[in-house]
Structure 1
Amino acid sequence: MAFPQTNKGPISHNQNGPAADVAGRSGVLQSPGGPMSDQKAKAVLKEAVDAVVNSFAKHTQGYGRVNVVEALQEFWQMKAARGADLKNGSLVVYESVPSSSHPYVCFVTLPGGSCFATFQNCTTKAEARRSAAKIALMNSVFNEHPSRKISQDFIRSAIKDAKKTFQGSPEDEKDPNTSLGAFRFMLEANVNKSMLEFQELMTVFQLLHWNGSLKAMRERDCSRQEVVAHYSHRALDDDMRSQMALDWISREQEAPGIISHELEQADAEIEGARLAGRELRFPKEKKDILMLACSQLGPM
């Protein structure tokens, strides 16, 4: 089962489908004449990130140098204090990539599950953590803007765009057993949620699509609406990751080398998203699941 995609959102992109990227690429990486050069795009991204971080600092801690790691944690603690539904608490989690030399890379996972990483060339581990915190803070702050909420106007626009792209009919839009109908169902079930929240939900469906689970459910005559309704309330947890890892172990035994191929692809997706400052939980989850499978297979 594949879903249409939309372009509105923070900073994320996935070619595998399922409406995955309500986010799409960040607007700061585009110019009226088309895509910017990599160098110019990185400069614009850095400028945009610094502007948001400095603005947040002025409104919370006054002027002067801001400790961006503390600012990011403070932001999510404020959200929790104001009643945000954070099932796993407000703790921001950092994960440094093991390396004996620079450039160093650090991942940061927000309370809802969205993941970002160092987007600059960092010569120290502390600098890498700050870089990751910067891009995560920018997305966190930007995500609070009313324009980032899923509204009826946005749903109409998204469905209109999807119909053009996939040449869907008005009947498809109303049928929950079509991709377009399931897409509308998911959007309407998440009205008033933010783009990051919706992206967190879509990560689950991206992984199910990548893992082949959606195809298996379709072969068992499960309707799209049933699948969407079930997994919309299912958290991405260790049990789900373990089950997916078992699936990849079976595939590796049938077709040796398939995990290595998928790992290479996941690494490339992570690196591309990292350098562009995009949300990258989907490729990171893929890599973690594949590495879990490798650990159970032994030396490959």
Structure 2
Amino acid sequence: VNVVAILQEFWESKQKQKAVFPSEGTVVYESLSSLGPPFVSYVTLPGGSCFGNFQNCLSRAEARRDAAKVALINSLFNELPCRRITKDFIMESVREAVSSTSGNFKDADDPSTSIGAYHYMLESNIGKTMLEFQELMIIFQLLHWNGSLKALRETKCSRQEVISYYSQYSLDERMRSHMALDWITKEQESPGIISQELQVALRELEEARKAGQELRFYKEKKEILSLALSQIYSDQVTSSSQDDQMGLALHGYH
């Protein structure tokens, strides 16, 4: 069975039915550079959900097939009625959120609370599948991790205002660049914090991949932190080069 071709055909058929994501695209594969096994491959679906091979693979082709298999299973599972956001689904999800956070069910009607904000987001996306909802959720997960949500709360923005604002956007290069700039600022305040966070993100990504979980949150963290590090390195090289040029100019002047 050519699972790579089946996955591609599945998403092409959804595209023809116009049942794809607003930020639709193609199925994209990415293989980590490695001199030898085990090889690692990621597959990103239209909408941004990401999966990887969870088995130890002896070739890049095998890793790609394994990643495609995990992605196909999740794509098919997402089509089930139980994965579509309905009133019953929302009530059950809120109950689970309350029990897992030791919260209060009354908080569900208060958007200023975490439970209330989650309830509001689910209500705003009724009729969508969980993979579609996940595309919005990933932005808020990253904003929370980044510290941006806390900063917005300090400016007296309500959770509803923040949700309404960011619901208009998809996670793109511009948003990643803004988040990378935030981490560059953090690095200036606490040297070494980016490297520490990157190590955590890489460990989380590997653990989630081996467990067959959806990987986008961990992968986006890795991309944002790597972008911040490369920018810092680029600035240092540029600064060093300018210092060298200034030194040569002064030497020539003397």
Say yes or no: TM over 0.5.
yes
Which of 103, 108, 112 pairs up with 1:177? 112
Distance 2:43 2:2 in 1: 15
- Give the deviation of 1:167 after TM superposition: 4.2
Q: Which residue of the partner structure matches residue 212 of structure 2?
A: 277
Deviation at 1:119, TM superposition (A): 1.1
Match for residue 192 of structure 1 among 127, 137, 140: 127
Scaled by the length of structure 1, what TM-score is found? 0.75
Q: Aligned match of 1:162 in 97, 122, 125?
A: 97
- Identify the match of residue 141 of structure 2 among 206, 211, 218: 206
1:163, CA displacement in angstroms? 2.9
Q: Identity of paired residues, percent? A: 59
What does residue 84 of structure 1 align with?
19
The structural deviation recorded for 1:165 is 3.7
What is the match of residue 8 of structure 2? 73
- For structure 1, the 5+ residue unaligned runs are 1-65
Bigger shift: residues 280-289 or 180-189: 180-189
Give CA-to-partner distance per residue, 1:195-249, whole Å, 9 cap, x none: 1111221111000000000011001000001011111221101111001111111
DSSP-derived class of the 1:116 partner: strand
Equivalent position to 1:289, from 224, 229, 241: 224
Post-superposition CA distance 1:163-216 (Å, at most 9, x none): 334444454221222222111110111111111111221111000000000011
Of the candidates 217, 240, 244, which is equivalent to residue 152 of structure 2? 217
Match of 1:100 in 2: 35
SS of residue paired to 1:274: helix
User: For residues 200 and 86 of structure 1, do their structure 2 counterparts lie closer, same or farther at Cα, with a shift above 3 Å needed?
Assistant: closer
Query: C-alpha offsets along residues 125-166 of structure 1, whole Å, 9 cap, x if unaligned?
Result: 111111111100110011101111111111112222333344
Q: What residue in structure 1 maps to residue 190 of structure 2?
A: 255
Q: Say if 2:135 and 2:170, in contact at 8 Å, map to a contact too.
A: no
Equivalent residue of 1:158, what SS? Answer: helix
In structure 2, list runs of 5 or more residues that go unmatched: 237-254
Q: Indicate conservation of the 8 Å contact 1:241/1:289, yes or no.
A: yes
Q: Bigger shift: 204-213 or 82-91?
A: 82-91
Contact 1:107–1:118 (Cα < 8 Å) also in 2: yes
SS at match of 1:298: helix
Contact 1:115 1:280 in 2 (8 A): yes
1:122 to 46, 57, 60: 57
Partner SS, residue 13 of structure 2? helix
2: distance between equivalents of 1:161 and 1:194?
18
Structure 2 residue 112 is the aligned partner of structure 1 residue 112? no
Give the match for residue 12 of structure 1. none
Contact 1:155 1:188 in 2 (8 A): yes
Aligned residues between the structures: 235
Contact 2:198 2:225 in 1 (8 A): yes
SS of match in other structure, 2:58: coil
Distance 1:74 1:90 in 2: 13
> In 1, distance between residues paired with 2:149 and 2:70?
32
| d(CA) in 2 for partners of 1:214, 1:157 | 26
- Mark the structure with the bigger radius of gyration: 2
Q: How far, CA to CA, are the matches of 2:203 and 2:148 in structure 1?
A: 23
Q: CA–CA distance in 1 between the matches of 2:180 and 2:132?
A: 25
TM-score, normalised to structure 2's length? 0.88
Q: More helix by proportion, 1 or 2?
A: 2
